Amino acid sequence: MPNALNAASTVRLVALALLMASVASCGGSGSEGSDSPPAPAPGPADPPPAPPPSAGSINAALGMPDRLLGGLGAGNSIADMTSQQIQPDIIDTYLVGVGSGSWPTWNSPDGAYVTYVSANVKAVGAVPMFTLYQMASRGEGNLDAVNDPSFMSSYWAQVKLMYQKIGETDSPALVNLEPDFWGFAMTGAPGGDPAKLPARVSMVNECASQPDNVAGMAGCLLALGRTYAPKAKIGFPPSFWGRDANTVGNFMLKVGADKADFMVAQTSDRDAGCFEASPPPGECSGRGNGPFYWDEANVSTPNFHQNQNEWTAVRSLLGDLPVLYWQTPMGVPSNTPGGTPGHYRDNHVQYMLTHPTEYTASGVFAIVFSGGGSTSANITTDGGQFARLFKAYLANPAPLSR
């Protein structure tokens, strides 16, 4: 689905701009990095992956209530959350780029951005979530990068630094590993087998026993996390991109995603009305003829039950990991298609926060809401929708299924 992939890249660029803008509020100073930092220093051998927790136990490990958690991500500032008296359980932040100008260089010393974000998020009673989006640094879908020694040396050094900085906080965190990359890998791997797609992995001392392929890359991402950030909970985000749940789930099983702590269910990267606009803005063009607005009665497609069933099928192949819905659009429902920038219609927030037990029954422990592009709605443009519905949800929360 090349059109979908091109649109997906926009949200990453928007996230980068938002994150760069937020650095000033953290009080840190920038510093220049190197395109090829040294390979990670020697460390312990690969630790055995921790067994995947149940939905209830992951909440306990995060120090959060035993109910469906709600979070906010890109496009929603802590200042705006505070002004609307929104108290999210999770706040998601992108970490992007490799080498000069990438996230480790946004504050001094290198990697301090993770430290500042963690402190700011914890100060409002939320769990920090970091979405690692480094693999697209040479362009989305450029799978040659994973077998480039120079690029991967920088890549692994930054992965290790991220985990080290998370570990230094001595507090729980969530890590979402490389959205979109696994979809590109599924497309590019010969025979759909990640073990047949070469990647530089054993160059990392802590991962010397991992195979030099994409499956080994996933194993190394987990091994470094277990070593340096033992309180972090780690998840992989599968990509459907027109494939069926069985194909997606089996590919991620070969990747080793079942060894993670949770599974990331990617929702959508735009409000539905953005695709319906005539003409749609560039970031929402080329998505076909729809329909894009989900049916709340669940009698025609696309609809919410259909989506739940697809992710449940993937989950069943990955050991029934607890599920976190991510990048869930924030538009406001309307009977009129389309809308305007910041006010395109969508009904995910309205449906999901008023039908929470449908999600907990499917093993979902958290839903993180955020705009996926520059035209997407957020808590400053939604007329108070999220604040109102999340407060109403918290008054009657959905306990997790056992």
Give percent of the chain with pLDDT exceeding 70.
Answer: 86
Q: Which residues contact 285 (CB under 8 A, 6 or more apart)?
A: 3, 7, 279
Q: Cβ of 264: how many Cβ atoms within 10 Å?
A: 29
Range with the poorest average pLDDT among 43-52, 161-170, 275-284: 43-52
What span, in angstroms and rounded, lies between the C-alpha atoms of 26 and 42?
Answer: 32
pLDDT class of 287 with cuts at 50, 70, 90 = confident
Instruction: Give tens-digit pLDDT for 156-177.
Output: 999 999 999 999 999 999 999 9
Per-residue pLDDT, 21: 38
The residue length of the chain stands at 402
pLDDT class of 7 with cuts at 50, 70, 90 = very low
Instruction: Give tens-digit pLDDT for 137-158.
Output: 999 889 999 999 999 999 999 9
Per-residue pLDDT, 22: 37
Instruction: Give tens-digit pLDDT for 335-392.
Output: 999 999 999 999 999 999 999 999 999 999 999 999 888 999 999 999 999 999 999 9
Strand partners, 263: 236, 323
Give percent of the chain with pLDDT exceeding 90.
Answer: 82
Give 265-290 as a DSSP string: EE--SS-HHHHHSSSPPGGG-SS-S-
Q: Cβ of 319: how many Cβ atoms within 10 Å?
A: 14
Per-residue pLDDT, 18: 40
Contact (CB, 8 A) for 232 and 226: no
Q: Which residues contact 128 (CB under 8 A, 6 or more apart)?
A: 90, 91, 93, 117, 118, 121, 122, 173, 174
Contact (CB, 8 A) for 338 and 276: yes
Report the run of H or E that residue 133 belongs to, with start and end.
Answer: strand 127-133
Per-residue pLDDT, 55: 67
Q: What is the mean pLDDT of residues 52-72?
A: 88
Range with the poorest average pLDDT among 55-59, 105-109, 175-179, 353-357: 55-59
Q: Is the pLDDT of residue 66 over 50?
A: yes
233: left (phi over 0), alpha (psi -120 to 50) or beta: beta
Range with the poorest average pLDDT among 23-37, 40-54, 101-115, 289-303: 23-37
Taking the domain 2-37+60-395, which CATH number applies?
A: 3.20.20.80
Amino acid identity, position 392: A
Q: Is the pLDDT of residue 226 over 50?
A: yes
Per-residue pLDDT, 5: 34
Q: Classify residue 301 by burial, with Cβ atoms within 10 Å: 0-12, 13-18, 19+.
A: exposed
Per-residue pLDDT, 289: 87
pLDDT class of 201 with cuts at 50, 70, 90 = very high
Q: What is the mean pLDDT of residues 299-319?
A: 97
What ranges do the domains of the chain cover?
2-37+60-395
User: For the whole model, what pTM was predicted?
Assistant: 0.88
Instruction: Give tens-digit pLDDT for 233-275.
Output: 999 999 998 899 999 999 999 999 999 999 999 998 899 999 9
Helix (H, G, I), strand (E, B) or coil at 365: strand
Give 26-72 as a DSSP string: HT-------SSPPPPPP-PPPPPPPPPPPHHHHHHHHT--SB-EEEE
DSSP 8-state assignment for residue 214: H
Which of the pair, 187 or 287, is modelled with greater confidence?
Answer: 187
Q: Classify residue 402 by burial, with Cβ atoms within 10 Å: 0-12, 13-18, 19+.
A: exposed
Which of the pair, 181 or 27, is modelled with greater confidence?
Answer: 181
Contact (CB, 8 A) for 145 and 191: no
Q: Is the pLDDT of residue 324 over 90?
A: yes
Q: What is the mean pLDDT of residues 325-330?
A: 97
Per-residue pLDDT, 54: 60
Whole-number CA gyration radius for the chain: 20
Q: What integer best gives the mean pLDDT of the chain?
A: 89
